[in-house]
Amino acid sequence: MNLSEPVVYLSLLVFLPAVAALVLALLPRLTDDAFKCITLAVTILVFILSLGMFRLGAGIDFQAGVAEMQNLFQVDWIPTFGIQYFMGLDGISFPLIVLTSFLCVLAMGASWPINKHVRAYCILFLLLETGMLGVFMSLDFFLFYVFWEVMLLPMYFLIGIWGGPRREYAAIKFFLYTLLGSVLMLIAILMLYFNSDLTRLNAQQMVDAGIVTVAGDSTVDASFQAWVNSEDTLAQRFAEIAAETDPARRRQLHTFNILALQQMGQHTDLFEGEALLGKSLQWWAFILLFIGFVIKVPSVPLHTWLPDAHVEAPTPISMILAGILLKMGGYGIIRICYPICPQAGYDLAYFVCTVGVVSMVYGAFAALAQTDFKRMVAYSSVSHMGYVVLGFGVWSAMADTGYNADYWKMGVNGAMYQMIGHGISSAGMFFMVGVIYDRVHHRDLNQFGGLFAKMPVYSGFAVGIFFAGLGLPGLCGFIGEVFVILSVWKYSYVLAIISASVVILTAGYILWAIQRVYLGPEYKGPNGDALKPITLRELAIAVPLMVSAVVFGIYPDGLLRYMQPSVDRQVDQLAAWTQAYDERETAAKPLGDEDGQMASR
């Protein structure tokens, strides 16, 4: 038991907030500020733990430039159900984990104005953090699902107790939408689980799935053989089933291992069997999973919970909701949908892109129409997350591009960058809205104006953050959007032109909002006396957000260094799969065409 083992370090990272929540529940009655300080300290500690992995050469670290999963570990959790406690990090999940722990610190800092039932608030906040970190780290499909659901209840209470006037409606709407999505996801999980078969994987694929570890100088095959002969229960069952030669009596070795499912999706025909209505099993699984994730993203037409939830949620919860929770949908799509069901993804690529573009356009128009400041920011999230869906969907490695995956890589990298950038800018925007809401207690865009004169420092930061959301070059929103739009050009001109023009709409609603709120001669709305300059605490939250928005805008390599290898690797694998798939299909097709021609003659 020391911190240099992944199992200890990562578990500590995930469960430290939950343990702290338990301790808070058992503590005697303290002052409200004491509870807030303890919680803030815990979130800072978690942030430090996540930063600790940057320290190269330490017991546990996250190395830049490595594409494979790092710090993998697996422990049996529920052997009767075949569920493992299986976690690891790669370039896709690691930036999101750091983002999560970072935003949690800031959101806790933004929680100081909350004075109602502070202990309960802190407990729920910490439980939420555990759920979020767990989602990004787990590599067992079931563990993923459990963490996914763990977040629901704290979020429900955080919106339902500390929210605005229509909080109960918004909270249950959020809960119902997400639960419906996760029920669909559960059915997809069962479909994939019951059609999976570990024994179909070869030695290299078992290594890639994280089941067999190659120690030092030994070869892949040797490690695989050593694993099969080992005492491990999974290995024993594997050997037992693999030894059965009679195909009629052979059983399958099911698994929830996401990495193994990815290998099966890309290298075997296990998920290609026909399910319903002539569509393959993976097609249905993809649809179910995609709906589940897209509810979370959220994309039109499943986005309607988001404006309500955002408007009613307290400021820090809005920050978390926009900054992290929405990213889970995107993470699910890139980690689960595409690699496990490539055939369905290939088939539905245009559909996915269309969903993305429609969300972008619809979200932007809806944002233009809002008079509630927070609702406008909420719709801007719908629009910005559309870029993410679009970037993932751009399957440009097709036959006519010679299976060149470069633009696709650019799209997926852009989408991932957009997730991080939007995490910072949207959390910042919600915080900025929260700061003035705390002072004047309204959010009507038409009743603001002239804030620059009364709160110059605040307004400077706010305008900066809003420009980051707009996608101004030099700020974090720019890079992701540009990457995505560039990559779409190679895929579909129509979609590219539409998505590029969304930038104008975005500029429209953001500039118009800035004009109505910060510019103008003087503030005429209610509670004008309360417009005090920004406090030190608020400054301490605004500065890190602004700094990271600038840093990610001018030094994208700082993030891409960690992220790109993993993304590129996955896209390369999928491009290789596409080529193999097309070759298989074309090998099957000409025969049929010839038959047809002969018949017509």
Partner 1 sequence: MAVFNRRTLETLCSHTFYIELVTVNLHTLVDSLLSDTLETSLPLFRPELAICGTIVLMLLVRVIRCERFLPPFCLALVGSIVALWLALPSEGLAAWAELSSQETFTGMLVFDSLYAYVRVFLLAFAVLFVVLSQLTGIADREDGQDYFTLVLGATLGMCIMASANHLLTIFLGIEMASLPSYVLAGIVKGRRRSSEASLKYAIYGAGAAGVMLYGISLLAGVVGSAHLPTIARELSSLNIQAMLASSEESSIVMVLALGGLMLGVGLAFKLSAVPFHFWCPDVFEGASAEVGAFLSVASKAAALTLLIRVGVGLGYVQEKPQAELAIDQPATVAEVSTAGQPPTTFAALKAGSIVAEEGASDPLSPVRNFFVILVAIIAMVSCTFGNLAAYGQTNIKRMFAYSTIAHAGFMMMAVAAAVALLGRDTIHAQTAISALLIYMAIYLFMNLGAFAIVAFLRNEMQSEEIEDYAGLIRSCPVVAVMMTAILVSLVGLPPLAGFWPKLRVLQSLYEAGGPLLITVLVVAGINTAISLVYYLRVIKVICIDPEPDTRGPVSLGFLPVAYVLVVSLPVIVFGILPDTVANWADQATKHLFY
Query: Hey, what amino acid is at 136?
Result: F
Of 187-195, 220-228, 368-376, 581-589, which part binds partner 1 (CB under 8 A)? 187-195
Looking from the CA of 139 toward its CB, the CA atoms found within 13 Å total 26
Q: How many residues does the chain have?
A: 601
Tell me: does residue 149 bind partner 1 (CB under 8 A).
yes
CB of 140 closer than 8 Å to CB of 85: yes
Q: Considering Cα of 48, then 49, then 55, then 57, what sign does the dihedral take? A: positive
* Closer CB to partner 1, 93 or 195, in the complex: 195
Among 407, 396, 401, 398, CA closest to 583: 398
CB of 107 closer than 8 Å to CB of 313: no
Residue from 156, 256, 331, 431 touching partner 1 (CB under 8 A): that is 156
- Please tell me whether residue 442 adopts helix, strand or coil conformation: coil
- Least CB distance from residue 184 to partner 1, whole Å? 7
Backbone angles phi, psi at 18, to 5 degrees: -65, -45
Query: Which residue is it, tokens 């074309």?
Result: 586
- Using only C-alpha atoms, the chain has a radius of gyration, in whole angstroms, of 25
Tell me: does residue 240 bind partner 1 (CB under 8 A).
no
Tell me: does residue 253 bind partner 1 (CB under 8 A).
no
Residue from 9, 112, 125, 145 touching partner 1 (CB under 8 A): that is 145
Residue from 64, 146, 539, 550 touching partner 1 (CB under 8 A): that is 146
Distance CA 237, CA 521 (A): 76
**Total residues in contact with partner 1, by rule CB under 8 A:** 29
H or E element at residue 223? helix 220-228
- Least CB distance from residue 186 to partner 1, whole Å? 7
* Closer CB to partner 1, 7 or 172, in the complex: 172
Paired tokens of 263: 């290998």
Of 146-154, 198-206, 474-482, 527-535, which part binds partner 1 (CB under 8 A)? 146-154
- Least CB distance from residue 255 to partner 1, whole Å? 14
Provide CB contacts within 8 A for 237, sequence distance 6+.
Answer: 253
- Least CB distance from residue 190 to partner 1, whole Å? 5
Residue from 34, 37, 44, 152 touching partner 1 (CB under 8 A): that is 152
Q: In Å, how far from its chain's centre is CA 463?
A: 26
Residue from 58, 190, 497, 580 touching partner 1 (CB under 8 A): that is 190
- Please tell me whether residue 406 adopts helix, strand or coil conformation: helix
* Closer CB to partner 1, 20 or 394, in the complex: 20
- Site for partner 1, residues 194 to 233, rule: CB under 8 A: 194
- Site for partner 1, residues 74 to 103, rule: CB under 8 A: 78-81
- Least CB distance from residue 141 to partner 1, whole Å? 12
Assign residue 403 a region (left: φ > 0; alpha: ψ between -120 and 50; beta: otherwise). left
- Site for partner 1, residues 105 to 144, rule: CB under 8 A: 120
Residue numbers of the site for partner 1 (CB under 8 A)? 78-81, 120, 145-146, 149-150, 152-153, 156-157, 160-161, 168, 172, 175-176, 179-180, 183-184, 186-187, 190-191, 193-194
